[in-house]
Structure 1
Amino acid sequence: MEIHFLGTGAGIPSKGRNVSSLALRFMTNREGDVWLFDCGESTQHQILHTNLKLWQISKIFISHMHGDHLYGLPGVLGSRSFQGGENPLTVYGPKGIHEFVTVALETSRTYLKYPLEIVEYDDGYTENDEGYKIEAALLEHVIPSFGIRITEPLQPGRLLVEKLKEIKVPPGPVYQKLKEGETVTMDDGRTLHGADFIDEAQPGRVVTICGDTRPSKKTVQLAQNSDLLIHEATFAEGMEEQAIDYFHSTTIQAAEIAKQANAKRLILNHISSRYYERSEELLESAVRVFNNTELAHDLDVFHLIKRKN
């Protein structure tokens, strides 16, 4: 998986950070499929600075109905069609997203060449797409704001090459057949069953992406045992009262959420423009609480490798 941060700022665009949007790109199982999370103003322009294409986007998740998270959506939907996208697209969001999209497209007379489905989710919404489980949870913000948890299907166990070598099975096409669970008859008459040479299947990776929220038990529950948690950090350490009042989180609070959730990795996102030259300070404060923390900047790309058996 690749995570492309298209906009990492909070509230309004600044010279250093655009407003909210990030893309999750599947590198193997889904053949380059892209899921977009939030779509602030100029998202499609940010995409031009990446190797992503609008037609690759099959799902767009809008965390909440604040403008810095969805004002770029009509442009992305229209340009996707203008650029030849014909494959289906699903837009997810809270109540109101259907009306927003419909009115924007109708009043601008934007015709889409692809099938568009709009899903309004509520707390506890779940969906299964080709084995990938999608879960939505209502967090704590001024208006309904959702976090999304993506869970991969079980990953096939590795081929026990050492075991094959012990019984003198040479490398070659037979290895691939056994890995796929087939039964193979060798030239010497031996019958080998793939299931006997495949390690136990492993749980898929879990990615949790949170919209705007102040610290919440729901976030801890949603992010439990995540391989990656992407959490907002609008405020710096020492501004906890302001964060609570404005329904946002500090770097420290985001780190505490990751620690309580037993997440493996945390990326801080949604950074206020007031900290334009203080990124290192923000990161250092979070690392003291949760060591495996990183801080996103616009156009950063993070890689999430597969779990090792």
Structure 2
Amino acid sequence: AVPTAVRDNTSFLLESGPELWLVDCPGSLTQKILKTNRRPQQVSAIFISHVHADHLYGLPAFVHSLMQEEKTVPLYGSPETIDFSLRLIDLFGLRREKILYRLEPRPLLPGCRTEISPGLAVIGWPVPHHSSSLAFIFETAEARVVYSGDTPLHRPLLEQAARADCLIHDCSTPFRYLERLPFLRLLHSNSLELGQAAHETGIRLLVPCHFFSDLDFSLEEIEAEVRQNYEGPLFLPADFSELELPL
């Protein structure tokens, strides 16, 4: 959401065997991936949830940093997101012939399962944040992970998450900010109601994210509100933290 001195915009790497998937593209991705002791060249697919700046402004810089790497990487998102992303990198001439690192557009049809490679698939699930918005349901032979992107609580997505091993979900503010900023309920989720929904849906592992750090609250408040209702495994990520799913 909003960066701080110790936390940047939301982005994830998902690793399954040799596969490394980049989910959303804020700034300094090349450096951040290197700090995880992985290589940016390992990224085998890129997923962008929607076209708001904090989720894709780093895409041109990422492509530029790999411009001499002869590789084609699929870019997944809604048709609107794919179109916007390609026009964005075109502003920097990053699809010219001399650019060896290529993005291959792979628009996702809502609700349809798309195979990425043998045994690895994704489903794009529409969520009510922006016309371009998709949540992503990642499936491997061992696990199912749901990433909500930015969204208010959305019952159809939660029903999908009930069958998942992990739900990574928007949790922008504590509940108390809804009175002061009521529009948030239409665009984002709060920690109290996310905890309620996670409890009611039987979420196996909850990972709240996308915190509005320009507002005055702590992660301890987020955790306390979630815990008012949800007693299952809870992981509050910090930058560069890693989570291995229990399979």
8 Å CA contact 2:50, 2:130 repeated in 1:
no
Q: CA deviation at 1:127?
A: 0.7
Question: Is the counterpart of residue 91 in structure 1 residue 75 in structure 2?
Answer: yes
Letter in 2 for 1:96: E
Answer yes or no: is the 8 Å Cα contact 1:60–1:92 preserved in 2: yes
1:118 is matched with 105
Which residue in 1 is equivalent to 2:143? 205
How far does residue 240 in structure 1 lie from its aligned partner after superposition? 4.1
Q: Which residue of 2 aligns with 1:41?
A: 27
- Say if 1:47 and 1:53, in contact at 8 Å, map to a contact too: yes
Q: How does 1:137-216 map to 2 (within 5 A)?
A: 137-153=125-141, 204-216=142-154
Q: Structure 1 residues 53 and 131, CA, compared in 2 at 3 Å: closer, same or farther?
A: same
How big is each residue's C-alpha offset from its partner over 1:79-135, in whole Å with a ceiling of 9 and x where there is no partner? Answer: 1234x3x34311112233333333334332334324431122242132123122311
Aligned to 1:171: none
Matched, 1:247 2:247: no
Q: Which amino acid in structure 1 is aligned with residue 108 of structure 2?
A: Y
- TM-score normalised by L of structure 2: 0.87
Cα offset, 1:228, TM superposition: 0.6
Q: What is the CA–CA distance in structure 1 between the aligned matches of 2:198 and 2:27, rounded to whole Å? A: 29
1:279 aligned to 2:216? Answer: no
CA-based RMSD of the aligned residues comes to 2.1
Report the CA distance between 1:210 and its aligned residue.
Answer: 0.9
Gaps of 5+ in 2: none
Structure 2: how far apart are the matches of 1:144 and 1:100? 10
**Superposition pairs for residues 58-137 of structure 1, below 5 Å?**
58-82=44-68, 84=69, 86-110=70-94, 111-128=98-115, 129-137=117-125
1:300 matched residue in structure 2: 241
Distance 1:49 1:226, change over 3 A: same
Whether 1:16 and 2:16 are equivalent positions in the alignment is no
Assess, with a 3 A threshold, how the Cα gap between structure 1 residues 256 and 219 changes in structure 2: closer, same or farther.
Answer: farther
Q: How far apart are the structure 2 equivalents of 1:144 and 1:254? A: 23
Aligned residues between the structures: 240
State how far apart, in whole Å, the 2-side matches of 1:217 and 1:134 are.
Answer: 19
Contact 1:18–1:298 (Cα < 8 Å) also in 2: yes
Contact 2:51 2:84 in 1 (8 A): no
Indicate the percent of aligned positions where both proteins have the same amino acid: 26
- Return the alpha-carbon distance in structure 2 between the equivalents of residues 131 and 295 of structure 1: 29
For residue 219 of structure 2, what is the amino acid of its counterpart?
S
Task: Give TM-score scaled by structure 1 length.
Answer: 0.71
Between the two structures, name the one with larger relative contact order (CA 8 Å, sep ≥ 6). 1
How far off its partner does 1:276 sit? 6.8
Deviation at 1:246, TM superposition (A): 4.6
- 1:90–1:117 contact (8 Å) kept in structure 2: yes
Gaps of 5+ in 1: 1-9, 154-203
